[in-house]
Structure 1
Amino acid sequence: MRDPQPSPARDEEEGPLLDDDAGRLIRPYTVSNGRTRPTAHFDLMTLVMATGTRPQSYLGPDHAQVLGLCGGPVSVAELASRTRLPAVVTKVLLSDLADCGAITTRAPAPVPLGPDPTDRQLLEAVLDGLRRRL
């Protein structure tokens, strides 16, 4: 029989809102109060970083978790993965944090392209890898 209480180590890793068998105990859109549209524009590759400014009012445990993950530049996609929330819910949480000045955002730095931006060998290697996986 499985112990219904999560272990302290597991609790620290994933937070109290996750269960081994059931998964997340709170529906994702409950976290965002049913909102599906962020007030700010975020791309999945947008880099987010905490400013050090704490929100004036308490926003909730998921906001605190996301803010805690923003110590260094981190992408929206990575935050969604780490919190196990849909990207749109993560974007709503981030827009709340941006609105109160707790985070700052920037687009990822463009990668400088070499003399031939369409390197045929690279494209063929990617295609070959995709064919092997499928």
Structure 2
Amino acid sequence: MSGEHEWVDEEAGPVVRPYAVARGRTRPTSSNALDLLATVAGTGLPVPAKAELSAQHRRLLSVVAGQSRPVAEVASDLSLPVGVVRVLLGDLLDHGLVTVRPPRDKAATPTESLLREVINGLRAL
């Protein structure tokens, strides 16, 4: 497959099936949990010489460069299925090009009653 995409027309997009983008893989090689709400950020490290990154890998890196974004949002921005994005992220994790943080634990978030107390306290000022 060449580096160029074969285009049907502007609206159709590239003629490449998702399983081809992920090289036929359905699961990431990395053992890290790539939950939909996990946040992904680029590390800013240079791409290792041994890394065989596709155009989709490089697009993914550009989407997460300089910012943390949820996996689901990255998939949406790339117009790729989440399963494919997870596989690509696993590859990038293996090369140390991205970091993944699991979603925040629900117990660590403030309760609604605490937030209401804060709002009421601010209003009282």
Q: TM-score range by the shorter chain?
A: 0.7 to 0.9
Q: Which residue of 1 aligns with 2:97?
A: 102
Q: Which residue of 2 aligns with 1:63?
A: 57
In structure 1, list runs of 5 or more residues that go unmatched: 1-15, 117-134
Q: How does 1:1-134 map to 2 (within 5 A)?
A: 19-40=9-30, 41-56=33-48, 57-71=51-65, 72-110=67-105, 111-115=109-113
Deviation (angstroms), 1:63: 0.2
Rounded to whole Å, the distance in 1 between the matches of 2:6 and 2:97 is 23
Rounded to whole Å, the distance in 1 between the matches of 2:11 and 2:43 is 36
- Alignment RMSD, CA only? 2.3
The 3-state SS of whatever aligns with 1:85 is: coil
Question: TM-score, with normalisation over the residues of structure 1?
Answer: 0.68
User: Size of the alignment, in residue pairs?
Assistant: 103
Kindly provide the CA deviation profile for residues 22-57 of structure 1, in whole angstroms up to 9, marking residues without a partner as x: 233211110110000112320000100000113312
Kindly provide the CA deviation profile for residues 79-132 of structure 1, in whole angstroms up to 9, marking residues without a partner as x: 11011111000000000000000000102334322238xxxxxxxxxxxxxxxx
The question of whether the paired residues in 1 share the 8 Å contact of 2:43 and 2:96 is answered with: yes
Question: TM-score, with normalisation over the residues of structure 2?
Answer: 0.72
